[in-house]
Chain A
Amino acid sequence: MLNLKNKILSYRQYYKICVIYSIINAFLWAFWGIAELFIMKDNKSLLFTIITYALLLLSFFIVTEIFAVASAMRDKEDELYKENVAKTNSSFLWFLLFTGFAVFIAVNVIRNISDTNTITLTFHEGFIGSLIYFLYAVYNGIVLHYENCTAEEDNDA
């Protein structure tokens, strides 16, 4: 049996796990949103709703547990890591600001060129869940990028 307690994850391994599972979960939630809104729109049964909710809840607990186990298996005291996290926080804020601005411009452009002059936005919990996991994947991806920049590149000479 795999002994997880004695295994130590490198920073890069940990962030790769976070990115991969966040993206998987983001797709899962997005798929559920699409299925509910478009594919199963007219013939949605109670069974379908129960199964999808159960699956999403299960995926949430599994992914949260994976993150918790992986987090417990790594060292969080390194100075360079703290510097990388500080850089990531700054980059992530810029990403949010830039994305928000881009969405605002895009929505306004579409609204102005469309015939109806109005846009209907549907907020479905599947898309909101997907967005949260996607943003989490982006955050971890940025840390992973900085970690790759500080990767081992020298020997003990």
Chain B
Amino acid sequence: MPELTTKLKEYRAKLDMKQGELAEKVGVRRETIIRLEKGQYNPSLKLAMDIAKIFGTTVEEIFFFEDE
């Protein structure tokens, strides 16, 4: 089964944004962002869309399946 992967860290680095800042903007705690970046947690659709909105891109650009 393909695994959900993320480019969240790269997008965050582009904007020079800390994990805590992103967490505050999308209304979650820092641990959630850490787990997301490590691929240990699958976000809800709302959280994924909120994150995509922060980076001005689409959900598919940030979260995608490994084999794609």
User: What residues make up the interface of B, taking CB atoms closer than 8 Å to A?
Assistant: 18-20, 27-32, 34-35, 37-38, 41, 43-44, 47
Candidates B18, B29, B37; contact of A78 at CB < 8 Å: B29
Whether B19 lies near A156 (C-beta < 8 A) is: yes
Bound: A78/B32 CA distance, A: 8
For the residues of A in contact with B, the DSSP-based class is loop
Candidates A78, A153, A156; contact of B28 at CB < 8 Å: A78
Residue of B nearest to A151 (CB): B31
Instruction: Determine how close the nearest CB of chain A comes to the CB of B18; give it in whole angstroms.
Output: 5
Candidates B18, B31, B37, B38; contact of A80 at CB < 8 Å: B31
Residue of A nearest to B47 (CB): A79
User: What residues make up the interface of A, taking CB atoms closer than 8 Å to B?
Assistant: 11, 75, 77-81, 83, 150-154, 156
Whether B20 lies near A79 (C-beta < 8 A) is: no
Whether A80 lies near B35 (C-beta < 8 A) is: yes
Bound: A121/B47 CA distance, A: 52
Whether A79 lies near B31 (C-beta < 8 A) is: no
The interface residues of chain B lying within 8 Å CB-to-CB of A83 are 41
Instruction: Determine how close the nearest CB of chain A comes to the CB of B38; give it in whole angstroms.
Output: 7
The interface residues of chain B lying within 8 Å CB-to-CB of A150 are 31, 35
The interface residues of chain B lying within 8 Å CB-to-CB of A156 are 18-20
Whether B20 lies near A80 (C-beta < 8 A) is: no
The interface residues of chain B lying within 8 Å CB-to-CB of A80 are 28-29, 31-32, 35, 41
> Which 8 A/B pairs are nearest by Cβ-Cβ distance?
A80-B32, A154-B34, A156-B18, A78-B29, A78-B28, A150-B31, A156-B19, A152-B31
Residue of A nearest to B29 (CB): A78
Whether A79 lies near B30 (C-beta < 8 A) is: no
Bound: A9/B18 CA distance, A: 21
Bound: A98/B47 CA distance, A: 36
Residue of A nearest to B19 (CB): A156
The interface residues of chain A lying within 8 Å CB-to-CB of B28 are 77-80
